[in-house]
């Protein structure tokens, strides 16, 4: 709400509305304690066109990945397309694992769960989380 008080333009308000919808999904999944919104982080502001995120892992001294929306990047090559991407710092992730990270690799067939127009993304995430907890390999689209 503090951000809305200073967001005077329509684009800023639209961005806040989109962020509020995204945060609603995070909250409905019970994950708000592991996510943080930082309005002071403006790194790469000229490159990204929407939501930007950074990934952190317990045991890592710095971020291990990040990404965001960059729709205008494709426009510089002749055609504007919706685009989202991310990068993982494999060196940082490997360092965390080598220091004793506890994880289990799962093999076997993977099933895809798609979120159709009008469906609740939060509900589909809950379904995927439950199935993963039962040992299934699930990919979200």
Per-residue pLDDT, 104: 61
Please report, in tens digits, the pLDDT of each residue of the chain (141 residues total).
777 788 777 888 888 888 888 888 888 888 888 888 877 776 655 777 777 888 888 767 778 888 888 888 888 888 888 888 888 888 888 877 777 655 565 666 677 777 777 777 788 888 888 888 888 887 777
Per-residue pLDDT, 87: 87
30: how many CB neighbours lie within 10 A of its CB? 11
Per-residue pLDDT, 51: 78
Q: Which string of DSSP letters, residue by residue, matches the chain?
A: -HHHHH--SHHHHHHHHHHHHHHHHHHHTT-GGG----TT--TTTTT-SS-EEEE--TT-SS--EEEEE-HHHHHTTT-----EEEEE-HHHHHHHHHTT-------S-EEEE---TTS-HHHHHHHHHHHHHTT-EEEE-
Sequence ranges of the domains in the chain = 1-37, 41-103, 108-141
């Amino acid at each position: 709400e503090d951000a809305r008080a200073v967001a005077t333009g329509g684009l800023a308000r639209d961005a806040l509305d989109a962020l509020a919808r995204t945060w609603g999904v995070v909250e409905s999944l019970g994950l708000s304690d592991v996510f943080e919104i930082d309005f002071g982080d403006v790194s790469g502001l000229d490159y990204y066109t929407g939501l930007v995120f950074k990934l952190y892992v317990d045991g890592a001294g710095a971020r291990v990945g990040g990404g965001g929306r960059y729709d205008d990047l494709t426009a510089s090559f002749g055609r504007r397309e919706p685009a989202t991407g991310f990068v993982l710092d494999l060196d940082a992730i490997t360092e965390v694992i080598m220091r004793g990270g506890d994880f289990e690799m799962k093999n076997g067939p993977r099933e895809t769960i798609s979120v159709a127009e009008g469906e609740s993304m939060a509900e589909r995430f809950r379904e995927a989380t439950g199935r993963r907890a039962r040992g299934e390999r699930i990919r979200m689209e």
